[in-house]
Structure 1
């Protein structure tokens, strides 16, 4: 039985490189306000990561509005304007094909807060100090 080496070892260098190129382009486009949308125009959005599929045809962008408020409205606006955003990314990034974009809420900050909270619990501090 053949096993896909990229699934066992994580993303390839090519996936990581393209994901970072798309992340930078997306962050730049959102920062400049190139997408003509009221919600996106008034919200500062952090693009934490972009993950590409092995064939580079799809990219999932993990985003979060500054302060974490209005996440659903921002995701809806990004999804509604994804064709325009894809076109802008294609103009900015030198790829054979621009990936189809998907947008998800970035939960990294929530995980960091939860980890911090756990590490500050008395029983955990006591175990760590011993």
Structure 2
């Protein structure tokens, strides 16, 4: 069984990139950092666009960075956002994470004060559709 992911490192990476988000419309900045299968850490932030549907979420940026660096699986992920409510991944990002993660993959939700909650991907996206559902 792999060692427990270092959530302090992931928190620091997500917190560092969150202020860099491009969010001139919502002013809601989100950062994400993930631990890849090779032990590398990849971060992303949300990037809005005047044509709202073409913006990207922080999780999508972190996943794209992982893929560009050669990673193929998410071992853990932290999503960092501010406000009184938990900033959990949107539905589309839950599915994006599922493409590269197992149901037991830990998903931590953080704010400026630290990790606020931890879930498994299966708790956030039960009975999910993933790569194994497609014939190869």
TM-score by length of 2: 0.29
Larger RCO, structures 1/2 (Cα 8 Å, 6+ apart): 1
Greater strand content: 2
Bigger helix fraction: 1
Greater Rg by CA: 1
Q: What's the TM-score once normalised by structure 1's chain length?
A: 0.30
